[in-house]
């Protein structure tokens, strides 16, 4: 299990409260909203800090009552929750909030895990666990949820098939690398929005990889491929000075 640094041990400054710095407010399709419900303050702090590194809007509370109060206006995309919390359960709380759930359990053996999955858990993680494993499971569940909500994005003659990971222009295939595909998706959700280089790094690159120059290089190759496919000058991607990039076909004859 990933060790907990001494500077993250619980104190008045490090504990994550319902009034976490990143609030769970209405947002664009990205980033995702994750709620951690864990009674242990040290584990709660470490989990929320790790998930924020992946760019998720993450809040954390210690009880189901606090969770319900925090999510009164909008449900999270994913709940990461201790199996039992103040006479309630993670699965029951997820049903109340209307979201997917990863259940954190301390029980050993196969039967408890199978039982939780049969009761409706989307995933189960046994304590102690590694932080990177939890982060990977969260990414997987969030990705599934988004595909279920939207399988195809269309802007004019350009179509991006999220489930098939294919791009077509006027029904003709456009060959993109996995990184170029991820970058195009980030620019299209939603189209017309200016995305900074840091946002694009967070949305289209694995954690702790790449940099602003990587974004510029990939944007250049993506533009070239979209131009060659017939999408017009710049491939619909424009540079917004000192801000980043945006995708729009408004000024193109396509």
Task: Give me the domains of the chain, ranges plus CATH numbers.
Answer: 6-148 (3.40.50.2300), 150-247 (1.10.10.10)
Lowest mean pLDDT among 48-57, 73-82, 199-208, 216-225: 199-208
CA distance 250 to 252: 6
Lowest mean pLDDT among 21-25, 85-89, 131-135, 227-231: 21-25
pLDDT of residue 251: 64
Identify which has the larger pLDDT, 152 or 123: 123
- Average pLDDT over all residues of the chain: 80
pLDDT of residue 253: 58
For residue 23, give both structure tokens. 């609030």
Summarize pLDDT for 162-193 with one digit per residue, the tens: 656 789 999 899 999 888 988 898 888 777 88
Phi and psi angles of residue 127, each rounded to the nearest 5 degrees, phi first: -75, 145
pTM: 0.49
Could you tell me the pLDDT band of residue 17, with boundaries at 50, 70 and 90?
Answer: very low
66, 18 Cβ separation under 8 angstroms: yes
pLDDT of residue 18: 36
Q: How many CB atoms lie within 10 A of CB 229?
A: 20
pLDDT of residue 26: 37
Most confident of 126-130, 149-153, 226-230: 226-230
Residue 254 confidence (pLDDT) above 90: no
pLDDT of residue 206: 63
CA distance 141 to 201: 20
pLDDT of residue 252: 63
* ω into 181 cis (within 30 of 0): no
Residue whose pair of structure tokens reads 């000075």 in the numeric block: 241
Sign of the CA dihedral with 71 first, then 73, 75, and 76 last: negative
Could you tell me the pLDDT band of residue 3, with boundaries at 50, 70 and 90?
Answer: very low
Q: How many CB atoms lie within 10 A of CB 190?
A: 12
């Amino acid at each position: 299990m990933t060790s907990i640094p001494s500077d993250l041990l619980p104190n008045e400054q490090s504990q994550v409260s319902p009034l976490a710095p990143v609030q769970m407010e209405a947002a664009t399709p990205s980033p995702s909203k994750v709620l951690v419900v864990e009674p242990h303050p040290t584990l709660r702090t470490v989990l929320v800090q790790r998930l924020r590194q992946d760019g998720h809007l993450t809040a954390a509370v210690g009880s189901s009552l606090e969770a319900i109060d925090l999510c009164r206006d909008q449900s999270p995309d994913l709940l990461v929750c201790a199996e039992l919390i103040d006479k309630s359960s993670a699965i029951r709380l997820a049903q109340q909030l209307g979201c997917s759930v990863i259940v954190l359990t301390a029980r050993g053996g196969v039967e408890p895990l199978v039982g939780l999955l049969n009761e409706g858990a989307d995933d189960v993680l046994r304590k102690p666990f590694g932080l990177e494993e939890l982060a990977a499971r969260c990414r997987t569940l969030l990705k599934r949820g988004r595909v279920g909500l939207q399988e195809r994005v269309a802007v004019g003659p350009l179509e991006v098939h999220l489930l098939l990971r294919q791009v077509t222009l006027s029904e003709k295939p456009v060959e993109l690398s996995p990184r170029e595909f991820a970058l195009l998706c980030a620019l299209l959700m939603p189209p017309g929005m200016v995305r900074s280089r840091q946002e694009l790094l967070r949305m289209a690159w694995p954690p702790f990889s790449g940099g602003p120059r990587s974004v510029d290089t990939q944007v250049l190759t993506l533009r070239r491929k979209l131009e060659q496919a017939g999408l017009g000058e710049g491939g619909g991607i424009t540079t917004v000075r000192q801000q980043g990039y945006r995708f729009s076909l408004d000024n193109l004859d396509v």
